Amino acid sequence: MAISDAKWIREKAIEHTEFFRNSIPLIASENLISPMTKEMMISDLNNRYAEGLPGHRYYQGNKIVDEIETRTEDLVKSLFRAKQADVRPISGTNANQAIVFSLSSPGDKIMSPSLDDGAHISSAEFGAVGMRGLNITHMAFNSEYMKIDVDETKKLIIREKPKICLFGFSVFLFPAPIKELKETMDEVGCKVWYDGAHVLGLIAGKRFQDPLREGADLITGSTHKTFPGPQHGIILGNTDDETWKKVRRGVFPGVISNHHLGAMAGLGITSAEMMEFGESYADQIINNAKTLAQEMHSLGFDVIAEKNGFTESHTILVNVKSKGGGKFVAETLERNSIILNKNMIPGDSNKKSQDPSGIRIGTQEVTRIGMGRSEMIQIANLINEALNGKDVRGDVRDLKSNFTEVKYCYGREDAYEFISLFK
């Protein structure tokens, strides 16, 4: 009977939850939502459908949805000091697709970092940008410092005259030089697009950098990495009205229909929480990343960008070629309940993406549950011991057992417990 399949899936979901309850989560693109945000994901909003914008829907029954969406947009604009905001994209890549469709045509030139230098796949030839048929050129990059080379990139912008300059990384260690390149980009008339998926929470917490004040026309992002909200997307604007109209149309009907109303409402709640807790959260994320990087370096790990202080974000990139490579290290640590991912590093252009030389580590989720400096030191030692052959699962479980609640948010006592409505 089909019920057995349903029960099997439910049991597997419980097994997965238990696995992560007893693991140290260090994936740089994941986080935990707050109790109040979680309620939005099981409310009736999650059952409903809305197309278009508040006051201009194609469905009835959206009166309250319109109120929530309008308030969420207002919260987002206030949090990021943005002129415009669209909270309908359903992921960061979906937001990127909307920008590509709204601002470009096949054959247009776009300039971005390369995948080897840490860019996201949506900006690659086989991603959203390439599938749109854009002519991609890459910014110059200093791999020793893990930063865009300003002087060389200026020359490239003048020579190539791109329609769009895209600043965005999947390994976002240091701020992008928007201010330094703004005059040159204005000279050739290109739009400035910043993909802040990984660092959105750090920007909300007034750390890392402030792209809209530094010259970005548009910011895209996912809302579940350093920004600890639901899996959703966002677009922020500081641009002219005509460009913003194109962006709005790029979102709908360009790349979405309904925009997952429970997640949209959860984004609003997370934005309110970040207004109150975002600065202290962002501070601790960055402090934890710096501590973990330094401790791993002290243990002999080849943490990339040593000359530049390793990181100014939540992310650490480590060359583990001497320890068996990224695939071997990531799988070994997974067996020891330490969850991170293999990752390409500069110089890996001839390596297969499934077997790169590096690993990527993020501190936003362990920070979210209250870990600090002493725990970062313990984690570095657990990683080292696991790679030296010790089974550290028990030690990991003991450490994690002390951190069971989500911090930097409104507490469970503030939540309504929507689940009671369904009993």
| Predicted pLDDT of residue 182 | 97
CATH number, domain of 204, equals 3.40.640.10
If you search the block for the tokens 């080292």, which residue do you land on? Answer: 384
Overall number of domains in the chain: 1
Whether the Cβ atoms of residue 45 and residue 277 lie closer than 8 Å to each other = no
10 Å CB burial of residue 253 (0-12, 13-18, 19+) is exposed
Backbone phi, psi, residue 164, to 5°: -135, 135
Q: What is the pLDDT of residues 204-249, one digit of tens each?
A: 999 999 999 999 999 999 999 999 999 999 999 999 999 999 999 9
288: Cβ contacts below 8 Å, ≥ 6 apart: 363, 366, 367, 371, 372, 373, 376
**Looking at the domain assignment, is residue 343 inside a domain?**
no
Question: Per 3-state DSSP, what percentage of the chain is helix, strand, and coil (rounded to 5)?
Answer: 50, 15, 35
| Predicted pLDDT of residue 348 | 84
Whether the Cβ atoms of residue 164 and residue 175 lie closer than 8 Å to each other = no
Range of the domain at 92: 36-272
322: Cβ contacts below 8 Å, ≥ 6 apart: 302
**Looking at the domain assignment, is residue 237 inside a domain?**
yes
| Predicted pLDDT of residue 123 | 65
**Looking at the domain assignment, is residue 254 inside a domain?**
yes
When mean pLDDT is compared across 119-128, 298-307, 331-340, 367-376, the lowest value belongs to 119-128
**Looking at the domain assignment, is residue 394 inside a domain?**
no
pTM: 0.95
Q: What is the pLDDT of residues 292-304, one digit of tens each?
A: 999 999 999 999 9
DSSP one-letter code for 310? S
| Predicted pLDDT of residue 288 | 98
| Predicted pLDDT of residue 248 | 97
Q: What is the pLDDT of residues 81-107, one digit of tens each?
A: 999 999 999 999 999 999 999 999 999
